[in-house]
Amino acid sequence: MSSPLHHETLAALSAKLENRTLTSVELMQTFIERTRAVDGRVGAFNSFDADDALEQARASDARRAAGQARGPLDGIPIGLKDVIAVEGQPLTASSKILANFVSPYDGTVARKLKEAGAICWGRLNLDEFAMGSSTENSGTHVTRNPWDLERVPGGSSGGSAAALAAGAAAAALGSDTGGSIRQPAALCNLVGLKPTYGLVSRYGLIAYASSLDQIGPFGRTVEDAAMVLQAIAGHDPLDSTSFRTEIPDYRAELGRRKGPWKIGIPKEYFGEGLDPEVSAAVQAAVGHYRGLGCEIAEVSLPHTKYAVGSYYIIATAECSSNLARFDGIRYGHRSAKASDIVDLYFQSRAEGFGPEVKRRIILGTYVLSSGYYDAYYLRAQKVRTLIRGDFLKAYEKVDAILTPTSPTPAFKIGEKAADPLAMYLSDIYTIGVNLAGLPGMSVPCGFTKAGLPIGLQLIGKPFEEAELLAIAQAYETAHPWYQRFPKLD
């Protein structure tokens, strides 16, 4: 039995557009109707402009009729996390401080999607300024997991994951600073890819922690993620951290790279705090790779225990610096209560930022302050170097590393709200990848007895996304978990 149109893979929708059994307008109308039907319960979107989306769809159909289609994404609706600039669209970071801000320009990934003919569809909810692991910290509303509306979809890119899982977009973009693509993908039965730092331009991304942030795709399948990555990857002179490297045909490479591979299992990732059902599912995936002829080797990442601590020093320090620009003067919320210029700074930021953002700004300002910089920030950067060294040493023996994505399935809304440390530990398996600047992805890996999705994380060598995608597809082909959908109807 075929899936409903709104649950079909991006690759399948692309084929229907190409062979003219479907128009982009028909497809866009399907997603608009689906969004209106389910988003009142899910809350994935901050906003969407149906008229603009249909206008983009009509332009795509006209190009195709003229024989000028721009490629496999032409006419496909792709949702964007509300920290990625799209000209003429709201850009709020799910914060009251940017509640009425409209972007005057396209970020590079939005421009590249438009050049590929894709439809930039909607503004997707997130933890405010991408600071969180549950999308409960949004300054607008809580996003719910389509698999269980009493549970979180993960974060900070929870709106992107929930929109795709609910069938309200064909694919989506998120940003990943410490797991913010991979963890929501795991909790929502999706593929989520954080590319190597520097592979995808950050120009037009509202910065949280500039040395950690990376934009990446959500897809139903590995092939879908490869198609979106193809469109957005590549050097950009507007981003000083963008890396100049050859971009392969990721989708074509999926068919060429067949393994077997050497896969490393880090002993530090299978200890205390790992849910037994998650552990069992991931161990079953290890068994599958062994059955394919892959060599499975235990590896050690000995500095893993320092990853969370060093991350929350580096990330908060950079957020303290990056968020200084939101001062009530240049753009965003300006307090009406201020009595003078200094009071304006205090009042505007106090009114505009939510509690989690304030917590991280305070932490970051502290670790950068005189007398504490060397003790905290400098030491954390040294630990970061050691963490990257652990990964690179492991890659002398293996092609990729396999771990759980999240230590638990989706937790209930409010369950960890009063305990920031418990929330921070939700990213314990993903943070090291950002600190080391490596590519990592989450792939659906089964379900708990309660029907909650489980994710498998694969971590690759720098700029070896093609190999990483092929390794992921070798599991997905035999385990098409993406063919299961949440019951929202």
Active site residues: 81, 156, 180
**C-alpha to C-alpha distance for 250 and 375, rounded to whole angstroms:** 43
User: Residue 380 has which token pair?
Assistant: 């954390």
For residue 412, list its beta bridge partners.
151
Instruction: Give the Cα separation of 75 and 64 in Å (integer).
Output: 9
Q: Give the count of beta carbons closer than 10 Å to the beta carbon of residue 401.
A: 25
Q: Is 163 in contact with 80 (CB distance < 8 Å)? A: no
8 Å CB contact between 114 and 130:
no
- Annotate 54-88 with DSSP letters as a single string: HHHHHHHHHHHHTT---STTTT-EEEEETTB--TT
Q: Do residues 279 and 287 touch, judged by C-beta distance below 8 A?
A: no
The answer to whether 215 and 173 are in contact (CB under 8 A) is yes
Q: CA 27 to CA 56: how far, in whole Å? A: 12
Tokens representing 165 are: 């899982």
Rounded Cα distance, 257 and 252, in Å: 9
Residue 293's CB is within 10 A of a number of other CB atoms, namely 9
Closest CA to 108 of 61, 173, 155, 159: 173
* Spatial distance between the Cα atoms of 36 and 29, rounded to a whole number of angstroms: 11
In three-state secondary structure terms, 430 is coil
Q: What are phi and psi of 24, to 5 degrees?
A: -65, -35
CA distance 222 to 218: 9
Q: What angle do CA 227, 216, 270 make, to 5 degrees?
A: 110
Let me know: does 34 contact 168? Beta carbons within 8 Å: yes
Token pair for residue 173?
């973009």
**φ, ψ (nearest 5 deg) of residue 263:** -120, 130
